[in-house]
Amino acid sequence: MEISLKDQVAVITGASSGIGAGVAKSLASAGATVVVNYPFEGSMEQANSVLKEIIDAGGKGIIYQCDVSKEDQVVKMFQDIVSELGTVDILINNAGIQKDAKFTEMTIDQWNAVMGVNLTGQFLCAREAIKEFLRRGIDPSRSVACGKIIHISSVHEIIPWAGHANYASSKGAIRMLMQTLAQEYGADKIRVNSICPGAIQTPINTNAWNTDNALNSLLTLIPYNRIGQPEDIGNLAAFLASDLSDYITGSSIFIDGGMTTFESFSTGG
């Protein structure tokens, strides 16, 4: 059995680093042509190096700058991709940020910035992707589904997180966005799912793993006793984007080394 995304176009938002970069590499190695989206001029170099790695490994792709929280930029990105690559088959709604603060000190800017990228960004990209899926229709030479959307959520879709009310709220909302879209577009054969990563070793959570103390304390939350890697998420994303998972829609899949078993209850409660 082999996962093949051959000749399918996959847009991965926030793919210049972290989980997005890992997912872009995995989908490209399964044969997809990937769009490595990056947010600002300043992240172009990183996006280029992700693409270079993909091309050096025999894969295909392009880079594309777009701030997913801006409607005009998202609409243009999908138009440009369709005119350059023909269509879009897979959307990985990955771009996400944290702006942490104690709740009573959280500014409206910190709240809006996180909601803008993590939630509005996922809404805008999903809307444009679904419009394109419906325009193209099912093409059995590409996939038995009309299109696939994978939201990158978080264990904080269900685990409350003190000091991160904006982030946790955005991830909780992604669950309802995902399930509503799966319900609304199931009959059109569009599959919509979420991946909920736990602690993955990326720039977003550097202070959770970059000292021995921090890492040891993080590992007390993870029964499987290791931090996750972007490839762990990439492997699952490739499966969820492929026809091997054709009966999976409307699901949140947790990939967290057991973090959501609430390890701290192993000796108490």
Continuous segment of H or E residues that includes residue 35: strand 33-38
168 binds ligand BGC, rule: CB under 6 A:
no
Q: Which is nearer to ligand BGC, 79 or 211 (CB)?
A: 211
Contacts of 90 (CB under 8 A, 6+ apart): 5, 8, 9, 10, 11, 27, 32, 147, 148, 149, 150, 241
Query: Which residues make beta-bridge pairs with 228?
Result: 200
Q: How many CB atoms lie within 10 A of CB 185?
A: 20
Q: Which residue's structure tokens are 């000091």?
A: 163
Q: Which is nearer to ligand BGC, 101 or 204 (CB)?
A: 204
Least gap, CB of 99 to ligand BGC (angstroms): 12
What does the per-residue mask of binding to ligand BGC show for 248-267, with x meaning CB under 6 A? --------------------
Least gap, CB of 197 to ligand BGC (angstroms): 6
Asked if 118 contacts 171 with a C-beta cutoff of 8 angstroms, the reply is: yes
**Catalytic pick among 38, 167, 185, 247:** 167
Interaction residues for ligand BGC, span 94-133 (CB under 6 A): 98
Least gap, CB of 94 to ligand BGC (angstroms): 12
Examine the residue annotation and report whether 224 is marked as an active-site residue of this protein: no
Piece in contact with ligand BGC (CB under 6 A), picked from 32-40, 148-156, 175-183, 236-244? 148-156
Least gap, CB of 199 to ligand BGC (angstroms): 4
Distance CA 236, CA 228 (A): 12
Main-chain phi, psi angles of 239, to 5 degrees: -65, -45
Interaction residues for ligand BGC, span 184-223 (CB under 6 A): 198-199, 204-205, 208
Count residues contacting ligand BGC (CB under 6 A)?
9
Q: How is residue 50 written in tokens?
A: 């992700």
154 binds ligand BGC, rule: CB under 6 A:
yes
Residue type, 97: I
Piece in contact with ligand BGC (CB under 6 A), picked from 53-61, 128-136, 153-161, 179-187? 153-161
Least gap, CB of 62 to ligand BGC (angstroms): 27
155 binds ligand BGC, rule: CB under 6 A:
yes
Give the residue among 58, 51, 50 at the shortest CA–CA distance from 31.
58
Least gap, CB of 219 to ligand BGC (angstroms): 12
Strands (E), 137-251: 147-152, 190-197
Residue type, 99: K
Distance CA 225, CA 60 (A): 35
Q: How is residue 12 written in tokens?
A: 């991965």
Q: Which residues form the catalytic set?
A: 167
Which residues in this chain contact ligand BGC in the complex, by CB under 6 A? 98, 154-156, 198-199, 204-205, 208
